[in-house]
Amino acid sequence: MTNNKNSYMQGPDEQGRYGIHGGRFVSETLMPLILELEAQYEFAKTDDSFWAEMEQLWKHYVGRPSPLYFAERLTEHFGGAKIYLKRDELNHTGAHKINNVLGQILLARRMGKTRIIAETGAGQHGVATATVCAKFGLKCVVFMGKTDVDRQSPNVFRMKLLGAEVIPVTAGRGTLKDAMNEAMRDWVTNVDETFYCIGTVAGPHPYPAMVRDFQTIIGKETRWQLEEQEGRLPDSLVACIGGGSNAMGLFHPFLDDESVRIIGVEAGGHGVDDRMEHAASISGGRPGVLHGNRTYLLQDEDGQILEGHSISAGLDYPGIGPEHSWLHDIGRVEYKSVTDTEALEAFQLLCAKEGIIPALESSHALAYVAKIVPDLPADHLMVVNLSGRGDKDIFSVAEHLNVEL
Amino acid sequence: MSRIAAKFASLKAEGKSAFVSYIMAGDPDFDTCLEIVRGLPPAGVDIIELGAPFTDPMADGPAIQLAAQRALGAGMTLARTLELVRVFREGDNTTPIVLMGYYNTIYSMGVDAFLAEAKGAGVDGLIVVDLPPEEDAELCLPAADMGIDFIRLTTPTTDDKRLPKVMQNTSGFIYYVSINGITGTAEADAGAIAPEVARIKAASDLPVCVGFGIKTPATAQAIAGIADGAVVGSAIVQRIGEGQSVSDVLGFVAELADGAHS
């Protein structure tokens, strides 16, 4: 998009665009703030001391590198391609979210901000933000849809233990979209001391690029880990997508390796059709403008945003990161979807075959793997991002399986 | 001369500031809203701001969020909002109408189609909250080509260095957002706002109207004393939300207008 026309890794342009997507669609009050953030991030990006601090924290606080694990029994079960799991669920706080939070909080500290706000869906980003705020002694306020507060109560309690204030959002249907609206309303009201720590590769520029850059540690590690174990590149990558930060983190370092097939899996809810009871923005939406960026959105004919549905609170968002939208438009990444039921089956399968309880979000990636992996040859190497652990989901899974705890 | 420019010129001749009122199109329903809009100029409103309802009004407080939900629930759309303007214009060809909303519904209709419809319906200006100058190519410049004013919000965070960029393609008037925050929450303080208005007026020849946080006739009067106009939205919208009669709502609007004009 800039100097090297043959690369998929150069975006965004100076306006924060990825093709027609991205941009800075925010109110004037916020514009000076995101310009300042962009300047600070551009400086930090090339500052060795910033990355040295990140690496120390990633190693000693988060527990990176996360393992790249050959899932032998899962591979045998399907009898197809060789499946590797990128174990980001083993990170401190149980998901990939902390990779990004550390980066943003270090930036916030450099900018002299004392109050951190965040939105959260499943609660993983909220927990990660509350955790890092506790570590650095920063005030933390997390906005969470009321529906999500109810279905993710363990994470709500974790955030409170970590000292965060959790504000349930009742506007709309009380999910991630509404939490993000409320976080932006808070930000516009408390501009001086507040840093908005966005949890995914969405929002106004520079957030999509910045969050991606903090998450690409996933793909960079995968690259050398697979080289170490198999001596070559993967043949395919699979990751689930709500906003798409774990997927972008895995995919981005491989975008220019044309031999690598890349698949993002959206939440198909009750099925991607006219009822719109899903959260598959690319498969079932069209481009629009929300939360500071242009991207594929679930919306009606008038451009009103639809609520969507997913069994997974972390994927229940009517948009997707703008870089994913661009990668879809140019055809570099394939975007598919699986239903709630398929994700639930995959959730149970991984428990039974590998002794790993995956997050419902990551179960969507596994469910798509189940569809294609049996037909792939035994020498095909597939890496699946296990972006989060499922401990937080056991209560809602029990409910879906009609089990009383 | 545009309806907006003509209005400010005649107010200036009378030595008055403008009273600008905001209500949500289609709140609580199309017909009641039309009745209120028709009653605004006789109640003393100089410029009508009409909100185009959107599901995710990120710059708005609870009063206007709920108004949007009521309007959407009653079947309001952007096309119906333009229809409301068209019907109003059949009986009033002088009161300026400014549409205020968010970009997605306009983008969804298509910018060219929207501008043609808006011009035809009699819309004079646009305030689109999520289109800063960085995104002028999207709607601001095409609107200017059609002779529709693109009215920019300036805020307490817009410093002197940035101000010229914000002024650059704006026309009609400048809307100074008196607080950092969302609509209908904090109370505007005329004493603190006066120097900000002066700062903007030093950088532009356009009239400056002040909004966000004006709830009473007394505040409207104080703001009108230091600016070219005062905007009231949430306080009116809240009364519509409470189910007050059209005449009660318009009675309150008249009190505000009297405040701003005194």
The mean predicted confidence, pLDDT, of chain A is 95
* Residues above pLDDT 90, as percent of chain B: 93
How does DSSP assign B156-217, residue by residue? TT--TTTHHHHHTT--S-EEEE-SSS-TTSSPP-HHHHHHHHHHHHHH-SS-EEEESS--SH
Kindly indicate the confidence band of residue A5, based on its pLDDT and cuts at 50, 70 and 90.
low
B228 is catalytic: no
Residues of A annotated as catalytic (active site), given as ranges: 97, 119, 387
The rounded distance, in Å, linking the Cα atoms of A244 and A54 is 22
Q: Is A10 helix (H, G, I), strand (E, B) or coil?
A: coil
Between the CA atoms of A150, A154, A155 and A160, what dihedral angle is there, to the nearest 10 degrees? 100
Q: Do B185 and A24 touch (CB under 8 A)?
A: no
The tokens describing A350, both together, are 């991984």
Residues of A in contact with B64 (CB under 8 A): none
When comparing pLDDT for B187 and A356, which is higher?
A: A356
pLDDT at A100 over 70: yes
How does DSSP assign A136-164, residue by residue? HT-EEEEEEEHHHHHHTHHHHHHHHHTT-
Distance, C-alpha B211 to centroid of its chain: 9
Query: Mutating which of A21, A28, A173 best tests the B interface, going by the most B Cβ atoms within 10 A?
Result: A28
Distances (CA, A) of B71 to A77, B47, B65: 54, 21, 10
Query: Mutating which of A184, A196, A304, A306 best tests the B interface, going by the most B Cβ atoms within 10 A?
Result: A304
Q: What are the phi and psi torsion angles at B176 (to 5°)?
A: -90, 120
Q: How many residues does chain A have?
A: 405
Report the range of poorest mean pLDDT among A311-315, A337-341, A371-375. Answer: A311-315
The rounded distance, in Å, linking the Cα atoms of A67 and A77 is 22
Cα Rg for chain B, rounded, in angstroms? 17
Residue B196: partners with Cβ closer than 8 Å, 6 or more residues away: B156, B176, B178
Q: Measured between CA atoms, how close is A222 to chain B, in angstroms?
A: 37
Q: Return the pLDDT at A276.
A: 87
Q: Do A185 and B182 touch (CB under 8 A)?
A: yes
Q: Do A29 and B129 touch (CB under 8 A)?
A: no
Q: Do A27 and B77 touch (CB under 8 A)?
A: no
Compare all CA atoms of chain A with the CA of B79 and give the residue at the minimum distance: A302
Q: Return the pLDDT at B73.
A: 97
Task: Beginning with the edge strand found earlier in the chain, give each strand of the sheet holding B208-211 in spatial order.
Answer: B149-150, B125-128, B97-101, B47-51, B18-24, B229-232, B208-211, B174-177, B153-154
**Other beta carbons less than 10 A from residue A347's beta carbon:** 27
Number of separate domains in chain B = 1
Residue B59: partners with Cβ closer than 8 Å, 6 or more residues away: A27, A29, A185, A188, B129, B130, B182, B183
Q: Which domain holds residue B130?
A: 3-12+19-261
What CATH number has the domain bearing residue B200? Answer: 3.20.20.70
The rounded distance, in Å, linking the Cα atoms of A148 and B56 is 18
Q: What are the phi and psi torsion angles at A187 (to 5°)?
A: -60, -45
Asked if the interface predicted TM-score (ipTM) of this complex is over 0.90, the answer is: yes
Tens-digit pLDDT profile for residues A29-67: 999 999 999 999 999 999 999 999 999 999 999 999 999
Closest CA to A90 of A272, A281, A352, A355: A355
* Mean pLDDT, residues A342-354: 98
Q: Return the pLDDT at B202.
A: 94
The rounded distance, in Å, linking the Cα atoms of B177 and A295 is 28
Q: Do B132 and A23 touch (CB under 8 A)?
A: no
Q: Return the pLDDT at A4.
A: 59
pLDDT at A2 over 80: no
The rounded distance, in Å, linking the Cα atoms of A390 and B171 is 54
Half-sphere exposure for A124 (CA within 13 Å, toward CB): 34
Residue A76: partners with Cβ closer than 8 Å, 6 or more residues away: none
Q: Is B245 helix (H, G, I), strand (E, B) or coil?
A: coil
Classify the phi-psi angles of A218: left when phi > 0, otherwise alpha if psi is within -120 to 50, otherwise beta. Answer: alpha
Query: Mutating which of A17, A21, A29, A291 best tests the B interface, going by the most B Cβ atoms within 10 A?
Result: A29
* Residues above pLDDT 70, as percent of chain A: 99
Tens-digit pLDDT profile for residues A242-273: 999 999 999 999 999 999 999 999 999 999 98
Cα Rg for chain A, rounded, in angstroms? 19
| Partner A contacted by B163 (CB < 8 A) | no
pLDDT at A386 over 80: yes
Residues of A in contact with B177 (CB under 8 A): 28-29
* Mean pLDDT, residues A124-151: 95
Q: Do A289 and B104 touch (CB under 8 A)?
A: yes
Residues lower than pLDDT 50 in chain B: none
When comparing pLDDT for A172 and A103, which is higher?
A: A103
